[in-house]
Chains A and B, each alone.
Chain A
Amino acid sequence: MKFRVDEISSVITEEIRQYRSRVDVAEVGRVLELGDGIARVYGLSKAMAGELLEFENGARGQVFNLEEGSVGVVILGDYLGIKEGDEVRRTGELLSVPCGDAVIGRVVDPLGRPLDGKGIIETPDRRPLEFKAPGIAERQPVNEPLQTGIKAIDAMIPIGRGQRELIIGDRKTGKTAIAIDTIINQKGGDVLCFYVAIGQKESTVVAVVDKLRECGAMDYTVVISASASDPAPLQYIAPYAGAAMAEYFMYSHGQATLCIYDDLTKQAHAYRQLSLLLRRPPGREAYPGDVFYLHSRLLERSCKVREEYAIVAKDAPADLRDRSKVLRHPQGLKAPKEHRPDDEAGLFHRPHGKHRADAWLSSLSDKAKYRVHRFRDTGGSMTALPIIETLEGEVSAYIPTNVISITDGQIYLEPDLFFAGVRPAVNVGISVSRVGGNAQRKAMKKVAGSLRLDLAAYRELEAFAQLGTELDPATQRQLDRGARMVELLKQPQYAPFPMADQVISLFAGAKGYLDDLPVAKIRDFENGLRKHVHDEFPEIQEELTKKGELTDELAGKLSKIIENYKAQFMNKS
């Protein structure tokens, strides 16, 4: 190995040449007290709340408390190298993280520093950690599904793009498993995933990253990790860092993103630790008074951004963002209702606006010269899957009730179901998705409707099943159907089902084709049917995926296929 001395010395010469001698002006303070990851700094009278400060040893801190003669600082990073009396300087900046394409596929800490040993993250774009959630006018109702690939969820508790759905349960009930399966299911789709690991064991995070890499999910996922050995301030800001990175894609590129916060209970613990050390008054369970705000401001940032449409020239580029190049209605906001734009710039908002734009376009005499254009930096979304760990199933504890009231629904995981073999251990009876059917495709809505009824009836009658008494045929039928549907909803880990496959499985169950099969054979039947349709009739899956509708014709075709396959299956066994 030979060093190219000329190249190296030319770089050094250039740097020295570019150096401009300046007086270094900074506002400084001195460390009064230090310990447990927080510091009190004397001076800095002009420091602002939430500002970033820099210590002598390069560590950074965030201003937390502003007091009469001193400032309470939370240290983000190594506080072991800081001494009392050290100088602290203002940076004048708010805490921000790098974002952009450079972070995709990486494992980073909440400040954007790489943890995967693959080099510095070079990107010109940064976003502040704290960001005001969009108001009502900037949003749009959630109307597109986010497929998790998990039958129980996509059928009964469907999640939409822009929704916040809480995953709540005791330890070891499969909360993270649901999150990972959802990420894996986005392969081949257009959703960017952000997995924020808060306060977890590093070995667990390594296992997760490994699994994601194995399934090819790291190509569209970012992992942000503040593990259990990281200082409390990093665990506190980790979810906000994830949200900030996702927001970049949501606002600048109109992309759909998914943020998983695993888990917010540990973030609340870290925040409690910081607040108590900084002498903020403790409230219930020793949490500070603003622990609700801690989670509400994070989760409110998840939304569906409103889509903006306009009429543009037919040959305008597909990625046109210049709002001045649109065709405006001559009557502006006074145009007739069916053609009226939504703002002074002549733009149309939300899907309803698109209908109006379409209507206006078709009414134009020279319509062939134009087209309806959706601005690519609008219509993005951030779906949030926060995870909360309960103790002994206590969902009415402080933090769980807080987060339940913030999110748009909950997925309850119960240890009893888990140990009874129902995995994913989702209690579909009390789990809820407040967006519900709006985020489901028509085909799924059809088969899920009867599934819900079957399971509800089954739950009512479950007690009788245990008694083992003689039951009337109707009750027995309900029990049999219910037991088979429960079996159908079981699913192995890391094996997400595409929507079409889910529809086919649930259709078979809903139409009663499984009622005379032994429960133990249901899984084999399902797998076999899936493979059969995939191999022999791929057009069925294609049609379902593309149109999302289960027409009567398609249903008829499917019924025949299932009957034939069933005959085969019964003969073999």
Chain B
Amino acid sequence: MPNFDDQDLSLAKVYASSMMALAKERGEEDPLGEELAALAAMLDSDPTIVEYLSSPTVNEDRRRELLEKMFRGRASDLLVDSLQVLNRNGRLGLVAAVEHAYHAMFEEWRGRVEVSVRAAAPLSPPQQARLREVIKKKTGKEADLMLELDTGLIGGLVVQIGDQKLDASVRRKLETIAMALSERASRELQQVGRYVDGAAV
């Protein structure tokens, strides 16, 4: 689960939306998304590059030259130009956040939504298709199912779409009934005399 600073996130959204707008103009939304993902993965694997790129002690021109050398010709012009703009504003440290924001916007635009599904037993392909159908009907979006096995649920499903969690597992139902019973019990205990002979009321 991403843990970006709130301030970084809002800044990243600004850059991501401009990049998205330009990409749409040129019809390059998909490739840009893939390039960003690759870039983010590369930076993730080698933190020293990130440090170098975001360090204020390195001269802005030096960084510009380096970026040109590293990426021009190997990545799309759109990506390299965006990186140069980020560099000029001293925001190269935001690349990971920009990727995250772009990805979210892209999915949103494509009408796709990531759905996390936990089940006690593996879902068969027809069951997965049925689930996608229902989600499409309810949200109008294509579901990208992230399946996970959790035998602790005993039975049933737990489906999470964004913030909404739908828990139809047997474990949850047992928990609900246990809570109802214990609440009822604590209320009834107020009149203990009804249930125990010889108890003081």
Task: Please tell me if B181 contacts chain A, counting CB pairs below 8 Å.
Answer: yes
Contacting A at CB under 8 A, from B125-166, are 160, 162-166
Q: How many Å from the CB of B122 to the closest CB on chain A?
A: 21
Task: Please tell me if A15 contacts chain B, counting CB pairs below 8 Å.
Answer: yes
Complex CA distance for A23 and B187, rounded to whole angstroms: 26
Contacting A at CB under 8 A, from B171-201, are 172-173, 176-177, 180-181, 184-188, 190, 194-199
Identify the closest chain A residue to B182 (Cβ): A15
Chain A residues contacting B186 (CB-CB under 8 Å) are 120
Q: How many Å from the CB of A114 to the closest CB on chain B?
A: 12
Determine if A23 and B163 form an interchain contact, defined as CB atoms under 8 angstroms apart: no
Determine if A11 and B188 form an interchain contact, defined as CB atoms under 8 angstroms apart: yes
Query: Which single member of A1, A19, A44 contacts B163 (CB below 8 Å)?
Result: A44
Q: How many Å from the CB of A5 to the closest CB on chain B?
A: 9
Number of A-B residue pairs at CB separation under 8 A: 81
Determine if A15 and B180 form an interchain contact, defined as CB atoms under 8 angstroms apart: yes
Task: Please tell me if A536 contacts chain B, counting CB pairs below 8 Å.
Answer: no
Identify the closest chain A residue to B156 (Cβ): A23
Complex CA distance for A307 and B172, rounded to whole angstroms: 52
Q: How many Å from the CB of B139 to the closest CB on chain A?
A: 14
Task: Please tell me if B10 contacts chain A, counting CB pairs below 8 Å.
Answer: yes
Complex CA distance for A30 and B3, rounded to whole angstroms: 11
Task: Please tell me if A337 contacts chain B, counting CB pairs below 8 Å.
Answer: no
A67-75, A270-278, A511-519: which one contacts chain B?
A67-75
Determine if B166 and A25 form an interchain contact, defined as CB atoms under 8 angstroms apart: yes
Complex CA distance for A540 and B120, rounded to whole angstroms: 84
Determine if A68 and B194 form an interchain contact, defined as CB atoms under 8 angstroms apart: no
Determine if A15 and B184 form an interchain contact, defined as CB atoms under 8 angstroms apart: yes
Determine if B194 and A4 form an interchain contact, defined as CB atoms under 8 angstroms apart: yes
Complex CA distance for A15 and B186, rounded to whole angstroms: 13
Given A15-B181, A24-B166, do A67 and B6 touch, yes or no (CB 8 Å)? yes
Determine if B168 and A24 form an interchain contact, defined as CB atoms under 8 angstroms apart: yes
Complex CA distance for A68 and B176, rounded to whole angstroms: 33
Determine if A69 and B163 form an interchain contact, defined as CB atoms under 8 angstroms apart: no
Q: How many Å from the CB of A489 to the closest CB on chain B?
A: 49
Q: How many Å from the CB of A122 to the closest CB on chain B?
A: 8
Determine if B160 and A68 form an interchain contact, defined as CB atoms under 8 angstroms apart: no
Task: Please tell me if A352 contacts chain B, counting CB pairs below 8 Å.
Answer: no
Q: How many Å from the CB of B181 to the closest CB on chain A?
A: 5
Chain A residues contacting B172 (CB-CB under 8 Å) are 24
Chain B residues contacting A119 (CB-CB under 8 Å) are 190
Residue interface mask A10-23, B partner, CB < 8 A = 1: 01100110010101
Residue interface mask A45-82, B partner, CB < 8 A = 1: 11000000000000000000001111000000000000
Complex CA distance for A29 and B164, rounded to whole angstroms: 9
Q: How many Å from the CB of B161 to the closest CB on chain A?
A: 10
Task: Please tell me if B109 contacts chain A, counting CB pairs below 8 Å.
Answer: no
Chain A residues contacting B166 (CB-CB under 8 Å) are 23-25
Complex CA distance for A1 and B195, rounded to whole angstroms: 10
Chain B residues contacting A12 (CB-CB under 8 Å) are 181
Task: Please tell me if A3 contacts chain B, counting CB pairs below 8 Å.
Answer: yes
Complex CA distance for A11 and B195, rounded to whole angstroms: 10
Given A21-B173, A45-B163, do A2 and B181 touch, yes or no (CB 8 Å)? no
Task: Please tell me if B52 contacts chain A, counting CB pairs below 8 Å.
Answer: no
Task: Please tell me if B50 contacts chain A, counting CB pairs below 8 Å.
Answer: no
Chain A residues contacting B3 (CB-CB under 8 Å) are 32, 42
Chain B residues contacting A21 (CB-CB under 8 Å) are 173
Chain A residues contacting B176 (CB-CB under 8 Å) are 19, 24
Chain B residues contacting A19 (CB-CB under 8 Å) are 176-177, 180
Identify the closest chain A residue to B169 (Cβ): A24
Q: How many Å from the CB of B190 to the closest CB on chain A?
A: 6
Determine if A28 and B165 form an interchain contact, defined as CB atoms under 8 angstroms apart: yes
Task: Please tell me if A100 contacts chain B, counting CB pairs below 8 Å.
Answer: no
Query: Which single member of A3, A23, A25, A122 contacts B195 (CB below 8 Å)?
Result: A3
Determine if B195 and A7 form an interchain contact, defined as CB atoms under 8 angstroms apart: yes
Task: Please tell me if B58 contacts chain A, counting CB pairs below 8 Å.
Answer: no
Determine if A16 and B196 form an interchain contact, defined as CB atoms under 8 angstroms apart: no
Contacting A at CB under 8 A, from B1-38, are 1, 3-4, 6-7, 9-10
Identify the closest chain B residue to A45 (Cβ): B163
Identify the closest chain B residue to A11 (Cβ): B188
Query: Which single member of A2, A46, A70 contacts B196 (CB below 8 Å)?
Result: A2
Residue interface mask A268-289, B partner, CB < 8 A = 1: 0000000000000000000000
Chain B residues contacting A30 (CB-CB under 8 Å) are 1
Query: Which single member of B1, B7, B160, B181 contacts A42 (CB below 8 Å)?
Result: B1
Task: Please tell me if A391 contacts chain B, counting CB pairs below 8 Å.
Answer: no
Residue interface mask A359-385, B partner, CB < 8 A = 1: 000000000000000000000000000
Task: Please tell me if B167 contacts chain A, counting CB pairs below 8 Å.
Answer: yes
Chain A residues contacting B184 (CB-CB under 8 Å) are 11, 15
Q: How many Å from the CB of B24 to the closest CB on chain A?
A: 24
Complex CA distance for A23 and B138, rounded to whole angstroms: 15
Determine if B160 and A28 form an interchain contact, defined as CB atoms under 8 angstroms apart: yes
Identify the closest chain A residue to B4 (Cβ): A69
Chain B residues contacting A67 (CB-CB under 8 Å) are 6
Determine if A68 and B190 form an interchain contact, defined as CB atoms under 8 angstroms apart: no
Chain A residues contacting B6 (CB-CB under 8 Å) are 67-70
Given A12-B181, A68-B6, A120-B190, do A26 and B165 touch, yes or no (CB 8 Å)? yes
Query: Which single member of A2, A8, A26 contacts B197 (CB below 8 Å)?
Result: A2
Chain A residues contacting B187 (CB-CB under 8 Å) are 120, 122
Query: Which single member of B10, B160, B196 contacts A4 (CB below 8 Å)?
Result: B196
Q: How many Å from the CB of A92 to the closest CB on chain B?
A: 13
Determine if B197 and A68 form an interchain contact, defined as CB atoms under 8 angstroms apart: no
Complex CA distance for A87 and B175, rounded to whole angstroms: 16
Identify the closest chain B residue to A1 (Cβ): B198
Complex CA distance for A12 and B188, rounded to whole angstroms: 11
Determine if B167 and A29 form an interchain contact, defined as CB atoms under 8 angstroms apart: no
Given A21-B173, A120-B190, do A45 and B162 touch, yes or no (CB 8 Å)? yes
Q: How many Å from the CB of B153 to the closest CB on chain A?
A: 12
Task: Please tell me if A319 contacts chain B, counting CB pairs below 8 Å.
Answer: no
Task: Please tell me if A210 contacts chain B, counting CB pairs below 8 Å.
Answer: no
Task: Please tell me if A101 contacts chain B, counting CB pairs below 8 Å.
Answer: no
Chain B residues contacting A27 (CB-CB under 8 Å) are 163-165
Chain A residues contacting B160 (CB-CB under 8 Å) are 28
Complex CA distance for A46 and B194, rounded to whole angstroms: 46
- Which positions in A face B, CB cutoff 8 Å? 1-4, 7-8, 11-12, 15-16, 19, 21, 23-30, 32, 42-46, 67-70, 87, 89, 119-120, 122
- Which positions in B face A, CB cutoff 8 Å? 1, 3-4, 6-7, 9-10, 160, 162-168, 172-173, 176-177, 180-181, 184-188, 190, 194-199
Counting from the closest, the 3 A-B pairs by CB-CB distance are A24-B167, A68-B6, A67-B6
Q: What are 30 sample pairs from A and B whose C-beta atoms fall under 8 A apart?
A: A1-B198, A2-B196, A2-B197, A2-B198, A3-B195, A3-B196, A3-B197, A4-B197, A8-B195, A11-B185, A11-B188, A15-B181, A15-B184, A16-B177, A16-B181, A23-B166, A23-B167, A24-B166, A24-B168, A26-B165, A28-B160, A28-B163, A32-B3, A44-B163, A68-B10, A70-B6, A89-B165, A119-B190, A120-B186, A122-B190
